[in-house]
């Protein structure tokens, strides 16, 4: 096979192998000689050159039985990870509307939001946005992408601020958070201390930024993307976009995604609004 192809495969296989060791999968435990990179190289050669796999394996010093053993023992999910690892740079360079299915495979988006439901019960809580109304709030944490799925809901009086429930929801969904998870939430949860904690825990997030936020620009990456420092020393990425003739600004600790993807990740939180609509209807 072309040496450049082998280099690409080896680079991504080494990355996945290291991640899998941390996860305790042990993908190379079945054969030290026939590691993931060598295995994938033989499979790719067979596909590209349309040659028999056993012949290719034999020419590389791998027996038919060893190839069969690895084909059965090595988890198929590992090859899927390598595929998307290779594909990721191409996703970043192209349009979201074409590649959003692949984005959904690369990132698991979790969302936290609340929904107000009006009630006739006096004292259930006064909701004061625009007008005073009695009601309750349903604070929800959900998987927003790739498949919408509510995970936890907490019901409070309507006058309980969203921010007070955030930590309880986050603790509950902690088991669903991994290296490819992005948490998104709106201005109701805006808190610089909270952002600092999320960053220290390694939890990627996307949120809105307050209009009166005090920060210093320390690096301009593009016309739409800057690295800013807040008064508590926290450094985040500020993404500014014109969406439907309106300026939208988002803050995130994700540095390597095109700006428009940050917007689409944030928009995934609307899945909770849909859940809230169902609750209102019921």
194-221 pLDDT, tens digit per residue, is 999 999 999 999 999 998 899 999 998 8
Q: How confident is the model over 78-89, as a mean pLDDT?
A: 72
How far is 234 from 255, CA to CA, in rounded Å?
14
pTM over 0.75: no
Give me the pLDDT at residue 246, please.
Answer: 85
99-281: in CATH 3.90.350.10: yes
- What are the extents of the domains in the chain? 3-93, 99-281
Give me the pLDDT at residue 191, please.
Answer: 93
Higher pLDDT, 233 or 11: 233
In whole numbers, what is the pLDDT of the chain averaged over residues? 79
Say if residues 43 and 9 touch (Cβ distance below 8 Å): no
| Segments of the chain assigned E as strands | 108-118, 126-127, 133-145, 149-157, 181-185, 204-208, 215-222, 225-230, 235-243, 246-252
């Amino acid at each position: 096979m072309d040496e450049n192809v082998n280099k690409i495969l080896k680079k991504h296989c080494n990355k996945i192998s290291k991640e899998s060791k941390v996860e305790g999968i042990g993908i190379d435990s079945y054969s030290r000689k026939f590691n993931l990179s060598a295995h994938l190289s033989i499979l790719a050669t067979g596909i590209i050159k349309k040659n028999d796999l056993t012949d290719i394996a034999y020419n590389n010093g791998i027996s038919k039985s060893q190839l069969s053993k690895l084909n059965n023992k090595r988890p198929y999910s590992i090859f899927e990870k390598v595929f998307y690892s290779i594909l990721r740079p191409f996703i970043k360079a192209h349009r979201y509307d074409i590649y959003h299915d692949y984005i959904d495979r690369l990132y698991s988006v979790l969302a936290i939001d609340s929904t107000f439901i009006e009630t006739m019960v006096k004292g259930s809580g006064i909701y004061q946005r625009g007008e005073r109304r009695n009601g309750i709030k349903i604070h929800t944490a959900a998987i927003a992408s790739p498949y919408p799925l509510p995970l936890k809901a907490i019901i409070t009086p309507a006058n309980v601020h969203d921010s007070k429930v955030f930590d309880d929801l986050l603790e509950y969904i902690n088991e669903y958070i991994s290296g490819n998870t992005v948490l998104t939430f709106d201005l109701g949860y805006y808190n610089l201390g909270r952002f600092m904690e999320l960053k220290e825990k390694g939890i990627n997030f996307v949120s809105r930024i307050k209009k009166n936020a005090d920060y210093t620009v320390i690096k301009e990456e593009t016309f739409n993307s800057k690295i800013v420092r807040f008064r508590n020393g926290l450094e985040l990425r500020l993404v500014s976009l014109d969406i439907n003739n309106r300026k939208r600004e988002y803050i995130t600790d994700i540095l390597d995604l095109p700006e428009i993807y940050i917007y689409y990740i944030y928009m995934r939180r609307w899945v909770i609004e849909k859940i809230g609509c169902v609750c209102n209807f019921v």
